[in-house]
Amino acid sequence: MSTNSVAKPASYRVPLIATAAIVLGALLVGVVFDANTGLLMIVGGLFGMALYHAAFGFTSAWRVFITERRGRGLRAQMVMLAIAVVLFFPALGAGTLFGSEVSGFVAPIGISVLVGAFLFGLGMQLGGGCASGTLFTAGGGNARMLITLLFFIVGSVIGSAHFAWWQSFPAFQPISLVNVAGVGGGIAISLVLFAAIAAFTWVMEKRRHGQLEQAPAVNKHGYQRWLTGPWPLVAGAVALALLNFATLALAGRPWGITSAFALWGAKVFELVGGDVSQWGYWQAPGNAAALQASVWNDITTVMNVGIMLGALAAASLAGRFAPNFKIPLRSVLAAVLGGLMLGYGARLAFGCNIGAYFSGIASGSLHGWVWLVAAFAGNMLGVKLRPFFFAGTKGPKPSAKTA
């Protein structure tokens, strides 16, 4: 997949197979395990399609702002967060949504969050994507991102092994804006912060370029554009916020990605004779239960599979599913190092750009804001290191504009 390559005519066979796999998987998981978990595979598929068609990335949006002071991607993220906060805070304040109990991702703020988020941010620029970016670009046919994903999983397992040690450092207790300022106050504070960030990017972009970047012209219209892409960036922001709210309603908690990577790696490690059960991370009740249960009973796993299948369908509809296995050695090395840092950092920081940043801030957690600052600092260093791994290029082309 490459946003710079000429798209082939849309093919419907692969999208139909991917869609059928999502629906069949949802039915099987719903019957064998839980109906809501089955429905979440469909939500995952919609996430994958929205991420791909809107080319909604975190890594490239941050890199473009750091290097070029272009803020269109960051402003789209603020739109996404604003919608999510308005939807989430009333439900989290009430503790229920449509009659079911719900809770947010609210985590402590300590050394592990700062170090983990910084490493994750650094890994974003070397690996070529974030958590969501890795999944949807890999699902969309980016062979290099499969390497990033593999070592993302390895890094997650290593992070879970060291998790208890990192948690031994002093940390502030979890703080939620919903609890501290109330629903209305929390929404107001959040919206002011989002507006301030958007305004800052607007000022910086105008100062550097004299005018704001315009969205690329698209010749497709109507249903054709929505089916084969590309979508407007803001449409992707709205879709992600609404789908995260659907996740809250069905799962009782927001969207997350990387806990499944740790689980997959741990199960493989045990399959070859290892034992993770004595590690502190896997002694937490929820993690211990996930380790003992079928991987298909894990909500995050089911959604991740849905994301990859949804992205596969979207890439094929766009005529851009064309894996390229000719990857320069330095680019492979960057994918390995980036993947390890992404996985390790996510475990330390209680999540990734989705679980900690998007869903954390949508939950009112102050740790989500701390994660944002530390991860952005990591991205700044990562941008400086990229020329060593991608000399003479703008980076790995398949993910440069989508991850």
pLDDT digits 0-9 by tens, 218-251: 887 788 888 888 999 999 999 999 999 999 999 9
Percent of the chain with pLDDT over 90: 86
DSSP state of 56: -
- How many whole angstroms separate alpha carbon 317 and alpha carbon 64? 27
Report the interhelical angle of 72-94 vs 233-251 (nearest 10°): 20
- Residue 254 vs residues 102, 151, 240: alpha-carbon distances, Å: 9, 25, 12
CB neighbour list of residue 287: distance below 8 Å, 6 or more residues apart: 259, 263, 281
Per-chain mean pLDDT for the chain = 93
Local confidence band at 11 (pLDDT 50, 70, 90 cut-offs): low
pLDDT category at 100 given cuts 50, 70, 90 is very high
- Closest among 171, 179, 139, 151 to 316, alpha carbons compared: 139
pTM: 0.93
User: What tens digit of pLDDT does each residue of 270-323 get?
Assistant: 999 999 999 999 999 999 999 999 999 999 999 999 999 999 999 999 888 888
pLDDT single digits (tens) 332-363: 999 999 999 999 999 999 999 999 999 999 99
Q: Cis omega (within 30 of 0) on the bond before 254?
A: no
Decide if 357 contacts 121 (C-beta within 8 A): no
pLDDT over 70 at 393, yes or no = no
Q: Check whether 4 has a pLDDT greater than 90.
A: no
Give percent of the chain above pLDDT 70.
94
Q: C-alpha 67: how far from its chain's center? A: 22
Instruction: For residue 400, name the pLDDT band (cuts at 50, 70, 90).
Output: very low
In the structure, what pLDDT confidence band is assigned to residue 217 with cuts at 50, 70 and 90?
confident
What whole-number distance in Å separates Cα of residue 119 and Cα of residue 108?
A: 18
Give SS3 for 109: strand
**Quick check: 148 pLDDT over 80?**
yes
pLDDT tens-digit series, residues 163-182: 999 999 999 999 999 999 99
Q: Is 382 within 8 Å of 121 (Cβ atoms)? A: yes
Provide the H-helix boundaries in 6-127. 13-32, 35-53, 59-68, 72-94, 111-127
- Helix (H/G/I), strand (E/B), else coil: 219: coil
Q: How high is the pLDDT of residue 391?
A: 73
Q: What DSSP state is assigned to residue 276? A: -
Amino acid code (one letter) for 133:
G
Give the pLDDT confidence of 20-41 residue by residue, as tens digits. Answer: 999 999 999 999 999 999 999 9
